[in-house]
Amino acid sequence: MHTYLVTGGAGFIGSNYIHYMFKKYGDDIRIINVDKLTYAGNLENLKDIENRPNYSFVRADICDKDAISAVFAKEDIDRVVHFAAESHVDRSIESPEVFVQTNVLGTAVMLNCAKAAWELPDGTFKPDHKFLHVSTDEVYGSLEEDGGYFYETTPYAPHSPYSASKASSDMLVKAYMDTYKFPANITNCSNNYGPFQFPEKLIPLIINNALQGKKLPVYGDGKNVRDWLYVEDHAKAIDMVQEKGRLFETYNIGGHNEKQNIQIIHIILDTLREMLPESDPRRANVTDDLITYVTDRKGHDRRYAIAPDKIKAEIGWEPETMFEQGIRKTIQWFFENEEWMKNVTSGDYEKYYDSMYSNR
Ligand code: NAD
Ligand code: DAU
């Protein structure tokens, strides 16, 4: 039985990954979720699994060496999946330091603690112990509008403080693999969407604003391109890389689903109009007039596009959820979880944490 230390499991992708793993492996795995619960961490995302005997939660900062070593000392961890990070580009432009702190220093602490727990006296590592570092396609910089893809061999060229901090964290993982033969993999994924995504990111923000008749802010000319992947497909890819990938390798993960931001917004508006019954009062809010062009993001990368050829050839992973299907599932999830959105936007999830965990 594998025991996973998942960092950032209360965030968007981490919580989807934990759901995916319990759905796939049931009682055959243990998961210890370590999360600091920043504004982006929400234990409500894990409400339905929090009482499983093979799941536990530890509130800790990944920069806190003592707290992380204590988790390794207490639990016999043989898998680390490292999601925890500051993840929002706009915030990194306003406040870069916390990105360096969590994404770079936090990753160094995670690597050091895993190395200390797993290293044998002869400098090799306990067999079948593995660390997976979850990273982003933004480390490769920006592509031209008219072509090209990010491959695992594409040179790093990050632009935002966020992507620079993620690139640095990737370099640290590479340094551990090269120097110590530390057993790790890196995955670089494109833009995710799906349930539990915090509404600071484009897709949940547009869904939430449109339902409320609020303006839909489009940065610049709206023609920046992102390559969107349904989050459950990402979760599956991470698991497949960790179990079937070659150690020390990087794998790019992408949806083969490039779209301009303005196209995404139109698809969301059309889908909302299609899915909302005539009788729903929110239907009247959903109009194209809400689209509002605003000042561009500083240093806004023009286009991202992943070539997921290596992961397909070596591991057999491919994106399974077509965008039309994924966006409907996502919108349906937001329809069914209005309370979640209310709590997230009002900060009430902090109260949820207090009520659930103050006595533990
Ligand atoms: P998120 O912001 O939704 O969640 C981040 C989680 O990390 C939160 O639960 C937060 O509380 C936790 N966290 C932050 N700082 C911490 C700290 N110092 N110690 C412990 N926990 C801390 O992020 P996400 O969108 O789920 O992204 C997860 C990972 O995937 C990140 O590493 C991100 O770079 C990467 N990634 C994201 C995307 C995407 O489209 N969202 C795409 C590719 C890669
Ligand atoms: O590519 C992977 C990355 O995708 C991840 O590493 C990041 O953690 C994740 O946040 C995401 O970064 P982006 O900056 O691409 O995502 P975001 O949702 O913030 O923006 C998507 C695009 O939409 C981008 O071109 C900016 C634009 N945008 C965004 C917002 C929030 C708008 O036009 N209006 C908005 O209000």
How far, rounded to the nearest angstrom, does the alpha carbon of residue 252 sit from its chain's CA centroid?
14
Residue 295, pLDDT > 60, answer yes
Pocket of ligand 1 contains residue 236 by CB under 6 Å = no
Note the pLDDT tens digit of each residue in 34-78.
Answer: 999 999 999 999 999 999 999 999 999 999 999 999 999 999 999
For residue 191, give every residue at least 6 positions away whose Cβ sits within 8 Å of its Cβ, in sequence order, or none. Answer: 226, 227, 228, 229, 304
Q: Which of 253, 291, 286, 288 is nearest to 272 (CA)?
A: 286
Query: Distance between CA 180 and CA 175 in Å, rounded?
Result: 8
Phi, psi of 223, rounded to the nearest 5 degrees = -100, 10
Query: Distance between CA 291 and CA 294 in Å, rounded?
Result: 10
Centroid of ligand 1 to alpha carbon of 257 (angstroms): 22
- The residue ranges of DSSP E strands in 182-341, in sequence order, are 184-189, 192-193, 216-219, 225-227, 229-230, 250-253, 258-260, 291-294
Q: CA 239, 240, 242 angle in degrees (round to 5)?
A: 65
Task: Name the closest ligand to CA 252.
Answer: 1
- Average pLDDT of 166-195? 98
Centroid of ligand 1 to alpha carbon of 85 (angstroms): 4
The single residue of 35, 44, 137, 239 carrying the catalytic annotation is 137
Mind listing the domains of the chain with CATH numbers?
2-357 (3.40.50.720)
Q: Which of 204, 220, 223 is nearest to 212 (CA)?
A: 204
Q: What pLDDT shows up at residue 347?
A: 73
**Is this structure's pTM higher than 0.95?**
yes
Q: What pLDDT shows up at residue 357?
A: 55
Query: Distance between CA 45 and CA 26 in Å, rounded?
Result: 18
Output the CA–CA distances (angstroms, integers) from residue 262 to 3, 193, 221, 222, in the order listed: 43, 16, 8, 5
Give me the sheet containing 79-82, strands edge to edge. 55-59, 29-35, 2-7, 79-82, 130-136, 184-189, 250-253
Query: Distance between CA 342 and CA 340 in Å, rounded?
Result: 5
pLDDT band at 346 (very low <50, low <70, confident <90, very high): confident
Q: What pLDDT shows up at residue 169?
A: 99
Probe residue for ligand 1, chosen from 44, 57, 87, 253 as the CB with the greatest number of ligand atoms within 8 Å: 87
Assess whether 162 carries a catalytic annotation: yes
Note the pLDDT tens digit of each residue in 80-104.
Answer: 999 999 999 999 999 999 999 999 9
Question: Which burial class, exposed, middle or buried, applies to 69 when counting CB atoms under 10 A from its CB (0-12, 13-18, 19+)?
Answer: middle
Pocket of ligand 2 contains residue 205 by CB under 6 Å = yes
Assess whether 137 carries a catalytic annotation: yes
Query: Distance between CA 126 and CA 168 in Å, rounded?
Result: 26
- Average pLDDT of 284-311? 97
Beta bridge pairs of residue 260: 225
Centroid of ligand 2 to alpha carbon of 89 (angstroms): 7
Task: Name the closest ligand to CA 265.
Answer: 2
pLDDT band at 199 (very low <50, low <70, confident <90, very high): very high
DSSP assignment of 214-257: --EEEETTS--EEE-EEHHHHHHHHHHHHHHSPTT-EEEE--S-
Q: What pLDDT shows up at residue 355?
A: 63
Phi, psi of 306, rounded to the nearest 5 degrees = -95, 140
Average pLDDT of every residue of the chain: 96
Task: State which ligand 1 atom lies nearest to the alpha carbon of 192.
Answer: 40
Output the CA–CA distances (angstroms, integers) from residue 331 to 206, 276, 324, in the order listed: 11, 10, 11
Q: What pLDDT shows up at residue 328?
A: 98
Task: Name the closest ligand to CA 206.
Answer: 2
Residue 238, pLDDT > 70, answer yes
- Average pLDDT of 210-232? 97
Pocket of ligand 1 contains residue 14 by CB under 6 Å = yes
